[in-house]
Structure formats: C-alpha cells, structure tokens
Structure 1
C-alpha cells in the first residue's frame, strides 16, 4: 500500500498540470459568470428589482440594458451600468436584461422588453414614465449620453459634471470603473 502512494500522488500531480486554470477576461467571449459582480464589482444589478411592466405601471422612468454574460462588449460595458445605478439610485428603474431568453420569441407589446431589443449587445433603451423611448443606442454608449437621456426622462437636472463624457478605467485585472473626463 505504501509503495502505491508515491505513484498515486505522482499521477494526481501530473493530472493537475494538464488542467488549465480558470481565468476570467474582459477581452474574450467566454462565460465567466455574472458580469456585473465580476467586472463592475456590483452583483446587486441582477436580478433587477423590478420588471419593465412594473416600472410602467408605477409610471417610473426605466433604463433597459440588454447584455450577454459571455460577450466581451457586455463585459466592458458592465462598469457603465454600475455607474448608472450609483448616479441615479432609486430615481429610475435600472433593468439589465440577459438577451438569451429574448432570442427567437415573439414580441408582445410595449410592456415586453423584447419589443425594444434590436438583436445586439450591449444596447441601452431609456423610457420616460409614459413609456416613450428617449434613447435607443447600441454598443459602448457614452455615460454622458445616457445621463442626459435619463435626466430628460425623469425631469431631474444633471449635477455639474454628470453629463460629461466618461471613460472606463480598469482598477485591477477584472474590475473597472467609469471616471468622468
């Protein structure tokens, strides 16, 4: 039995060298987990606290953010979504929506998030309390553009510097933040 122990340990060590370590990365399209917790340091964004239908019923401005957990563009945009929550807090309904369930299904009207999705990620749609689209933009949308649209939708004036452009800056290998320029 004792003579088998070194052999077993040797096989286990050899096997461990074959297994690649798990590494999350902003620059690939691999699934790494919840992108908001991992890349923006904010796991409270998903699941969202309310649905689009609830926001419209309450006559609240809503910001829909369409994303995929395994899309590098969505990973890079996660910090912007977290910054929107920090800036606007409870003044809006911030609703991040994974697009996997929306694919290949019929749209069922203005209370359905699939109605506004154009098939790309990330996509940001800002709706005013009446459900009118104030902003519909795709890609790495500038935080200032979104802030101005939210201000218009809510009627809440922007604070000084809040409407300015911002840039996403990494503060470690995984997390990033939006800094005002």
Structure 2
C-alpha cells in the first residue's frame, strides 16, 4: 500500500504542469499591478470616474487588460505616476473587458474615453477638459507634463530620460537616466 501511494504521488508530480508568469506574453497571470508593478493598491480605483469629475479632481484615467503584454510592460509607469503625484490626482486604472458593453455617450462613464486599444492613458483637468489622450507605451515624461499643466505645478521628479528595469523575473520599476 505504501509503495503504491508513493508511486501515485510521484506520478502526480510528473504530470503537474508548472505555472509561469511572463511579462512578454499575452497570457493571463492574475492582476498585473501587484505582479509586474509591485503595487496592488492601484486596482480597483478608490473612486469612480463620475465622482472624480463631480469633485473637480485631476484625473489620470488608464485602460488595460490583465492578459496583455503591452499592459504588463506599461504597469510600472502607472505605479510611478502614483508615487510622484500621490493624492494630488485621481489615478483611475480600469480593465477594458466591462467597457465593451457600456454606452460611450456619457462623459461621466469610462467607456466615453476608451478608444478600443490598450494601454491607453487620458489626463483630465479639474474642469473636465482632456489634456492628454495617448495609446501604447506612453513615456512618463508626457504624462507628467499633462498633469503639471492640469495642476499648475511641476512634478517632484523630472527625469531627462526614463527606462523600465526589471529587478526580478516579474517585477520592474521605472528609473531615471539623468
């Protein structure tokens, strides 16, 4: 009986597939922000877009998919935006799956701003005016300039050039190259 149990357990170990997360594949690895940006506090957002607009807040609205390599690569940029601007902005990061069936005619709803591509970042000033609307790997410098324009103050950190560096096989961070 004991040898059969050991044989059975060894067979299970040989059959079991390993689970690999990869930033460069379009595979679902779970929530990308704790995994690839090291910041699980980014999602879900603490406030809705409608509330932020009604409260006249500066908004950085970002769209992503958990199973998109482009979104995984871009995740550290949004984590750095949160670090730089903190509570002076509302960082609203939303998955696009639920938006596909929403009406895009209401400016209080995220679907109004989404173009259908990811990642996408929109910076909205206190009056609701769109100051920046970009798709793809948007450099943090461009996002910072739009937020600075909206807030009337410069970022506490203005790198001349930034680069995303990996500090292990999954997590990465945005660093300045001055």
TM-score (norm 1): 0.94
Partner Cα separation in structure 1 for residue 105 and residue 135 of structure 2: 22
Q: 1:21 aligns with which of 10, 18, 21?
A: 18
Q: Which residue of 2 aligns with 1:79?
A: 76
Corresponding residue to 1:147 among 115, 123, 144 = 144
Q: How many residues align?
A: 177
Pick the aligned partner of 1:10 from 4, 7, 10. Answer: 7
Task: Report the 3-state secondary structure (helix = DSSP H, G, I; strand = E; otherwise coil) of the residue aligned with 1:36.
Answer: helix
Q: Any stretches of 5+ residues in structure 2 without a counterpart? A: none
Which residue in 2 is equivalent to 1:97? 94
| 3-state SS, counterpart of residue 14 of structure 2 | helix
What are the residue-to-residue correspondences of 1:30-179 with 2, within 5 Å?
Answer: 30-159=27-156, 161-162=157-158, 164-179=160-175
SS in structure 2 opposite 1:22?
Answer: coil
Shift of 1:108: 3.6
The Cα RMSD (Å) is 1.2
Runs of 4+ in 1 over 4 A off after TM superposition: none
Determine which structure has more spread, i.e. the larger CA radius of gyration: 1
Q: Deviations over 1:85-139 (max 9, x none)?
A: 0000001000000101001332241111100101111000000011111000011
- Structure 1 residues 80 and 67, CA, compared in 2 at 3 Å: closer, same or farther? same
User: TM-score scaled by structure 2?
Assistant: 0.95
Structure 2 Cα separation of the partners of residues 172 and 54 of structure 1: 37
Structure 1, unmatched stretches of 5+, are none
SS of residue paired to 1:73: helix
In 2, Cα distance between the equivalents of 1:93 and 1:168? 23
Alpha-carbon contact 1:143-1:165 (below 8 Å) kept: no
